[in-house]
Structure 1
Amino acid sequence: MPGKTELSTKSREFLEDLRVYLFSNGKNSDDIQDIVEELEVHLMEAEKEGKSVEKIIGHSPKEYMEQLSNELAADYKSWFKYVMLIILGSFSFSLANDLFEGTLSYSVLELIGHVVLGVIFIFGMLMTFKYIVGNKLSKWKELSIFFVLGIIPIGLFVGLTYINRAVETPMIYFGTAGTILTAVITVVFLIAVSWWAKTWVLPIVLTMLLLPEYLFRLTAMVQETQMILSTVASFGGIGVYMFIDSKMNKAS
């Protein structure tokens, strides 16, 4: 039985770029999958005849992506779900860390700020993906853009922390019962998201980042030693997990 025909690197890159471009424009994931699969078949047949990607789509890749995007309806319902998942997922990291400190309490400004900054980051990320896919950039330029994309949210969250200290807004105290309930909801949320995404990377990374620091705090070591060892344990554990996970994926 003949082996499956492999697409050229250029065609594979085009399909991946198309997938990212349509996704970043809020299109339905099922529609995207159908289009990519159909186009993959056409590209395979065309490459057998020696035709290029541009010859098949009849436009430049960017123009073709824009045309497809205009033809597909936006899936606002799914995007609202993704936005909420990302915001809650990012907030769960901060929440999990705060749970180790005791009962929870947040200012109104802090809660609203987390949501606003989460939305800003999401749409900034989508615009970045759309720009990179639509414009062929060098790897260095791509890395620079992603570096800036990663630095900006950190700066915004640091700014939010200082503003929260300077501006007094009403506090919301969870109390013992509220803190326990929030902890349970957070755990259930992380498990549900991991099951939905079919990967346990989120709870594992979160555990690796928080648990060593908490355990080393219980020791009699000096603070500097605790910080060094907890950092080594955290990133070492994450590295081991990623190594094992990559080996398992290759084996499967």
Structure 2
Amino acid sequence: MDIRQRLSKKSNKFLEDLNAYLFAKGKNFKEIDVIIEELEVHLLEAERKGKPIEKVVGNSPGEYMEMISEEMPVDYSNWIKYAVIIILGSFTFQIFMDILNGPLSYSILEIVGDVTISILFILLTLVSFTWITKRGMSDRKAILVLTPVMIVPVAMFVGLIYLNRHVETPVIHFGVTSSWLIVSLASILVIAITLWAKSWVLVVILSLLILPEFLLGLTSLSIETQLIVSTIISYGGIFLYIWIVSRREK
């Protein structure tokens, strides 16, 4: 039987929080795994002897997490890689949606804004995970904290769209051939991320965002109806997919 299955719910919660905390602090994945495996053994031995988790991690789990984090170096190369993937990933969503309306064109304001918002999203997420895990919050409280983190970047992207309409900056126009070359490169990136992450999440979400709008555009429905129906299908489908994946993970 796996060690995790023999540990108490409280010990498992602490290990999950520690894992997420060290991840948010930019530590190396392999080193995190080593730390977690060692703690699993110590916690199991303590529980067998009837000792509480505090005998291993002290009275303040948050301070214990911080102490371990300070002893581990930050893996900057890994985090630069993830930051680049997230930023490029945000561009792929925009590219696939924009190509439906013809050749691509982007203003300098759009490009700089997308990169800035993506970096802000990464920082907000890391800070939030650090804060949540250090305090050992329940899933419900964690969701309450993370909800604004998800909403703020979306609101900023919407604001960027309106700002771009009223503030003129140089625009980079791509021809038909160049546009489809960019789409091809974006497709390769999506496939590479999917294979690397061993997850279909990105492909499914992209499909749900793009296909409904494209397919409804082939119908005789009014633009307003197409917009309403595609929005319901897209976001309803994304919610359903995430719910199904979460249930399966549980």
Q: What's the TM-score once normalised by structure 1's chain length?
A: 0.90
The 3-state SS of whatever aligns with 1:50 is coil
| Residue of structure 1 in register with 2:110 after alignment | 110
Kindly report which structure 2 residues correspond to 1:77-156, keeping only aligned pairs within 5 A, or say none: 77-137=77-137, 141-156=141-156
1:41 matched to 2:53? The reply is no
| Residue of structure 1 in register with 2:200 after alignment | 200
Unaligned runs of 5+ residues in structure 2 are none
Compared with structure 1, are the counterparts of its residues 242 and 143 closer, same or farther at alpha carbon in structure 2 (3 Å cutoff)? closer
| CA offsets 1:110-137 (integer angstroms, 9 cap, x no match) | 1011111100110011001101111244
* 2-structure distance, mates of 1:70, 1:240: 40
* 2-structure distance, mates of 1:57, 1:138: 19
| Residue of structure 1 in register with 2:50 after alignment | 50
In the alignment, residue 204 of structure 2 is paired with which amino acid?
A: I
* 2-structure distance, mates of 1:68, 1:162: 45
In the alignment, residue 149 of structure 1 is paired with which amino acid?
A: V
- RMSD over aligned CA atoms reads 2.3
Return the offset for 1:68. 0.6
| Residue of structure 2 in register with 1:159 after alignment | 159
In the alignment, residue 86 of structure 1 is paired with which amino acid?
A: I
| Residue of structure 1 in register with 2:16 after alignment | 16
The 3-state SS of whatever aligns with 1:100 is helix
Which sits farther off after the overlay, 3-12 or 226-235? Answer: 226-235
In the alignment, residue 142 of structure 1 is paired with which amino acid?
A: A
| Mapped contact 2:18–2:65 kept (Cα < 8 A) | yes
| Mapped contact 2:14–2:136 kept (Cα < 8 A) | no
Return the offset for 1:148. 1.2
| Mapped contact 2:27–2:74 kept (Cα < 8 A) | yes
In the alignment, residue 21 of structure 1 is paired with which amino acid?
A: Y
How many residue pairs get aligned? The number is 249
Compared with structure 1, are the counterparts of its residues 179 and 199 closer, same or farther at alpha carbon in structure 2 (3 Å cutoff)? same
| Residue of structure 1 in register with 2:72 after alignment | 72
1:181 matched to 2:181? The reply is yes
Return the offset for 1:232. 4.2
| Mapped contact 2:11–2:53 kept (Cα < 8 A) | yes
